[in-house]
Structure formats: C-alpha cells, structure tokens
Amino acid sequence: MPSILSELKDGVLELTLNRPDVLNSFDRAMAQALQGELARAAGEPEIRAVLLTGAGRGFCAGQDLQEALPQGDGPMPDISEIVRASYNPIIKAIRTLEKPVVCAVNGIAAGAGANLAFACDLTIAAEEASFVESFAKLGLIPDTSGTFFVPRLVGSQRATGMFFLAGKVSAKQAKEWGLIWDTAPGAELLATTRALAASLATQATRGFGLTKRAMNASWANGLDEQLEMEARCMQEAGRTKDYEEGVRAFLEKRAPTYRGQ
C-alpha cells in the first residue's frame, strides 16, 4: 500500500498521507515519497496547486517512533539524521514551491504533523481537529520548522506555552491565534479545501509564486531590502503572460483566463 496517495485533477495535485493505522506518522519511506511528489509539483507546469491531507481519522501524528528507537541492543539512533533526511527537505520544498500549497487537517496533527500544517500556505482544519506540539513529552525540541514559524505566527509567549506545556490547541483556537487560515465542519472539510485549491489553480500561478518568494525573503530582510525584493518580483510578474491577460481582461470588462505562464 503506498504511503502517499497522489491524484492530479484540474491542475491540483492532491497528496494524502496514507498510514492511517498509525495516524499517518512518518517513516522514512513516507517522507521520501512526499519529497518526491513535491518535486513533481515543482517540475510539472500542469500542476498549479497542491492539496495535502491525511487518510483516516488523523492528519499526522509526527514521527513513527519505531524508527527512532534502538534496534536490539544497539545505540540510540541519531535523531538529527531523521530530521535532516525526512523533515527539512519537505519544509524547504513547500516553502520554495512557487505554487499554492493548501492543507486540509482532518484530525489530530501532532509534533512534526502540526508543524507541517503550519508551514503550508493556507491551512483549513476540521472543527474537531487539534494541534499538539508534543516534543516536550519526549524531552525533544520542536522540529519541522516549528521553532521558526510558530513564534512568528502567534508570538513568543503563546509559542513557548505550546512548546513547553504540550497541550492541545483546538482548531477554533488555532484559527483565532492565526496558526491556520480557517476551519470547516469535518464532513465538509475536503470539499471546502478542494474548492479552494481548485480556485487557486485557475488563477495567476506565477504571481502567487512571486508573492510567496517575496514573503519568504521578508523573514530575513530589512525594509530597504524588502522594498527592492518587491520591485524585482514585480518586474518579473509584469513580464508574465498572466499579467498581460489580466490587464486585457480588465480593459475588456471580462473575466481573465490565466494559464499559469
């Protein structure tokens, strides 16, 4: 059984974490498969948005701890190797993919699973879903970009509370804090998220990508650097066929037809 289910429809590559018997916790094989699908999304022009979700009753319970335990009488494995090989490439692929990445959190998102959801561009959670920064319960630190994005999304005090206390954050609270974009009734989650991804896939893909590039740069830039970054990205956007189509559609008082070019 494949650990990642993949379907391309109407410009949207839908990726489903598919280890429901362990709440879609990551083993190396699933991490490698997801990395491969994200590389595919970057390389195929017909893919104009990505939708990420989980099979079964959970989104992702983080790391499969069976892979993080000693084998027999052997030594404890170096967990940093798992982080570097499995999670860091996934986060880098999501953030550098110049196409929208939408996430549908259908149930519990814990540890790396929570931080994976927070790193996506637009995340919608089922109303009954929850997020847990569970690392403190194991004496570990948050990975999968948690220490980068969570403090920036919610501030230092709330991030520290999430990390140190390792309590559940409801979907409603996650929305109120700005960790996610929206919530939806569980029965409507996939339909809602698919509609969002499908809509994004019909819009000016290059403009989205350049917006994402500029937003990524803003984490490290000062004002002057960011203003120049905006100018460079605007120059590139102004040379796209989608920009030309947008202007023509505006002047002709019709809806634009974007090709992602």
Indicate if the pLDDT at residue 93 is higher than 90.
yes
Q: Using the 8-state DSSP alphabet, how is residue 63 labeled?
A: B
Please indicate, yes or no, if residue 256 is contained in any of the structural domains: no
Confidence check: pLDDT of 119 > 80: yes
CA distances in angstroms from 44 to 26, 37, 48, 76, 240, listed in the order given: 25, 11, 9, 40, 18
Put the strands of the sheet holding 168-170 in their side by side order: 58-60, 108-110, 130-132, 168-170
Q: Are residues 225 and 167 in the same domain?
A: no
Whether the CB-CB separation of 4 and 34 falls below 8 Å is answered with yes
Q: What is the mean pLDDT of the chain?
A: 96
Query: Do 64 and 152 share a domain, yes or no?
Result: yes
Q: Are residues 177 and 222 in the same domain?
A: no
Rounded to whole angstroms, the Cα distance separating 172 from 127 reads: 7
Burial class (CB in 10 A: 0-12, 13-18, 19+), 203: middle
Q: How far apart are CA 36 and CA 240, in angstroms?
A: 28
Q: Is residue 258 part of a domain?
A: no
Note whether 129 and 173 are same-domain residues.
Answer: yes
158 is a domain residue: yes
pLDDT per residue as tens digits for the range 154-191: 999 999 999 999 999 999 999 999 999 999 999 999 99
Same domain? 111 vs 216: no
Is 201:10 a contact under the CB 8 Å cutoff? yes
Whether residue 211 is found in the same domain as residue 99: no
Q: Do 113 and 175 share a domain, yes or no?
A: yes
Residue 111 contacts residue 141 (beta carbons within 8 Å):
no
Residue 66 within a domain: yes
Structural domain total, the chain = 2
Q: Domain for residue 257, yes or no?
A: no
Name the domain boundary from 181, 200, 219: 200
The confidence band for 75, taking pLDDT boundaries of 50, 70 and 90, is confident
Asked if residue 113 and residue 192 are part of one domain, the reply reads yes
Same-domain pairing of 133 and 237: no
Q: Is the pTM of this model over 0.85?
A: yes
Per the CB < 8 A criterion, the answer to whether 64 and 22 are in contact is: yes
> What CATH number is associated with residue 79?
3.90.226.10
Grade residue 107 by pLDDT with cuts at 50, 70 and 90.
very high
| pLDDT at 84 exceeding the cut of 90 | yes
Q: Which CATH number fits the domain that encloses residue 240? A: 1.10.12.10
DSSP state of 6: E
Q: Tell me, yes or no, whether 228 lies in a domain.
A: yes
Query: Do the domain assignments include residue 217?
Result: yes
Q: Residue 26 carries which DSSP code? A: B
Give pLDDT tens digits for 22-66: 999 999 999 999 999 999 999 999 999 999 999 999 999 999 988
Q: Is 238 exposed, middle or buried (0-12, 13-18, 19+ CB in 10 A)?
A: exposed
Instruction: Choose among 170, 124, 177: nearest CA to 149.
Output: 177
Give the tens place of pLDDT for each residue, 188-208: 999 999 999 999 999 999 999
261 domain-assigned: no
Residues 148, 37, single domain; the answer is yes
Please indicate, yes or no, whether residues 90 and 127 belong to a single structural domain of this protein.
yes
Span 3-24, average pLDDT: 98
Using alpha carbons, select from 20, 59, 19 the residue that is nearest to residue 51. Answer: 59
CA-based radius of gyration for the chain: 19
Return d(Cα 82, Cα 30) in angstroms, integer: 12
Q: Are residues 87 and 112 in the same domain?
A: yes
**Could you tell me the residue range of the domain that residue 224 belongs to?**
205-251
Cβ count within 10 A of residue 154: 20
